[in-house]
Amino acid sequence: MRSDEFRGEELICSTFSNTSKTSIPINHHEYDVIRKCFNEKYCYHILLFSLSEDPTMALAGVRVIELAGLAPVPFCGMILADFGAKVIRVDRTKVAMAMDTQARGKRSVALNLKSPEGVAVLKKLCVQSDVILEPFRKGVMEKMGLGPEELLKENPRLIYARLTGYGQSGAYAKAAGHDINYLAMSGLLSMLGRSNEKPYAPLNLVADFAGGGLTCAFGVVLALLERTKSGRGQVIDSSMVEGAAYVGSFMWKSRKIGLWNNSRGENLLDSGAPFYDTYRTSDGRYVAVGAIEPQFYTQLVHGLGLDAASLPSQMSFDDWPKLRQVFTNQFASKTQEEWARVFDGTDACVTPVLSMDEVISHPHNQERASFHRDAQGEVTPNPAPVLSQTPGSPCLARDPIIGEHTRPVLEEFGFKPAEVDQLLSAGVIECNAAKARL
């Protein structure tokens, strides 16, 4: 008979044959079941219960309720799913198509939270879960009776992540907005753009994803780790203004070394320096040049076939426009492929600007399997970073349709089939079967 010691957040298992201890992370629901079983000394059987998750995934056993949102929260949910969490996305009912293009690995429950029965269903899901991710502006969850007060009272171990543009306080807290607004409020947008041009937002990368979904996922993991010590959940106030600014800390911290003394687009790293920019090649494609250090810059000049003695000094700011013109003319003389043959294998810091589809076939990315094709055959990035013991693994199945898993999820969380039928007939939930692919 296995001897098992149950300690708070994890199950330490040892067997007679060996004393190696395996600790298995468990979620709130398992915690309660296990504690009850230990009290009644049924310790062995519960191990099977907690081994139901794939222990090779870092977030195995973590249950996440993701309320359907636009882009940042779906990205956060996808990250957690990629690393083993069980993510249930709660969609609105009467919605034709999911807005979530980052839905891999998630299951969808369609639930009308405008009904008290719907609120009760969500509460029951949250009591048995570890994390809730909410994408709404300040006050919406409280209005539905689903604020942190209510949910943490019923499940003190719940991690309540609130991902918003402006945070849960402050004059803008209830204002609508999108990535570009948050980036503007972070101060970083003022630094983005070429010389004599207006500021531009680099896609919706910085606030929505870097400072939003990714930073929020980091907060969730921090809270999960902290809970293994305190046994308590907490509220994560994830503001995209603050997340973006935090991601950009280097920009603030490097002002004192004069990195940003010039106007926008005229500094070392903001397209001002000719050795840190992109250049068009003879076939209309581009290369990226990042030869900052003198030893790398020397290799750039050599690869371009230029005579260093005939050029102005690398750091002669006033000569940068002239140097840029020289580089522009040189790079325009060969194709992207030809320049790759010149610079691959050197430290000149010159790389091809690859398209979203080319990335998967570039030899370096292929060797590392950095990208894969999903169920729709589309190129998509693999989870990062790569952990040696518990790497992330993207679900390759198609994305869920809205309400596809309502019934199995509710029954998994303890609803009887008759209760699910009743909720369905009352319009509180939707159970949509996946349409057969012809």
| Min separation Cβ 207 and ligand LNO2BQTQ, Å | 7
DSSP percent split of the chain into helix, strand, coil, nearest 5: 40, 15, 45
In this structure, are residues 90 and 397 in contact, taking their beta carbons and an 8 Å threshold?
no
Nearer Cβ to ligand LNO2BQTQ (178/280): 178
- DSSP letters, 75-111, are HHHHHHHHTT-EEEEEEPSS-SS-S-S--TTEEEEEE
Six-digit token string for 192? 């983005």
DSSP 8-state assignment for residue 188? -
> What are the beta bridge partners of residue 337?
none
Nearer Cβ to ligand LNO2BQTQ (112/155): 112
| Min separation Cβ 165 and ligand LNO2BQTQ, Å | 4
Sheet containing 10-14, strands listed edge to edge, beginning at the edge strand earlier in sequence: 3-7, 10-14, 22-25
> What are the beta bridge partners of residue 90?
67, 109
Active site residues: 178, 208
Nearer Cβ to ligand LNO2BQTQ (196/376): 376
| Min separation Cβ 403 and ligand LNO2BQTQ, Å | 11
Q: How far is CA 177 from CA 60, 102, 136, in A?
A: 34, 20, 11
Nearer Cβ to ligand LNO2BQTQ (97/257): 97
| Min separation Cβ 96 and ligand LNO2BQTQ, Å | 6
Residues lying near ligand LNO2BQTQ in the complex (CB under 6 A) are found at 67, 69-72, 90, 92, 97, 99, 101, 111-114, 135-137, 140, 143-144, 164-165, 176-179, 204, 208
Nearer Cβ to ligand LNO2BQTQ (10/208): 208
Identify the CA nearest to 235 among candidates 166, 173, 170, 151: 151
Identify the CA nearest to 160 among candidates 137, 124, 134: 134
DSSP 8-state assignment for residue 204? T
| Min separation Cβ 338 and ligand LNO2BQTQ, Å | 37
